[in-house]
Amino acid sequence: MAELLINIDVDDLPRAVAFYTRAFGLTVGRRFGDAGVELLGAASPLYLLAKAAGTQPVPAPRGAGDGGAAGARDYHRHWTPVHLDVAVADLEAAVKQAEDAGAVLEAPLSTSGWGRMACMADPFGHGFCLLQFHGQGYDAITTGRG
């Protein structure tokens, strides 16, 4: 099985380390000079990568005159189809811990058949959700396999 590694671009590495260790109780593993920091304590390691705002995340395709189709890095609140979900035992306590570390709660807590959720954003504009499962968790909404 492949090992999943999570990389998060940030424009202020010390601030990001402070946020993610305080918000989620992660600990610093390896440091990669000024380029990145490994955080441990979750099911997958999380790597914070120092990337300046305004830089391109991927090279421009051949013939692209606009500097690249992906757009420049922007650390204001942004949307991406990939985000982090963090499963927690106590949603209110986790929301408070994340807010105290600098996260923003973006909507009221919601409840569904599988549990409860808080939609949040980190100080770098990345969205994440805190999930508190109850009962069968996601099994409460499964429709079978395959």
Nearest Cα to 135, choosing from 111, 115, 109, 110? 115
| CATH (one of 3.10.180.10, 3.40.50.720, 3.10.129.10, 3.10.105.10) for 1-75 | 3.10.180.10
**Closest residue by Cα to residue 47 from 85, 9, 19:** 9
CA distances (Å), origin 65, targets 52, 53, 68: 21, 20, 7
Cβ contact 111:67 at 8 Å: no
- The CATH code that applies to domain 76-146 is 3.10.180.10
In a structure prediction context, what are the per-residue pLDDT tens digits for the chain, which is 146 residues long? 788 999 999 999 999 999 999 999 999 999 999 999 999 999 999 999 999 999 988 876 665 555 555 678 889 998 888 889 999 999 999 999 999 999 999 999 999 989 999 999 999 999 999 999 998 888 888 866 55
- pTM of this prediction? 0.85
Instruction: Give 3-state DSSP helix, strand, coil % of the chain, rounded to 5.
Output: 20, 30, 50
Tokens of 130: 């805190």
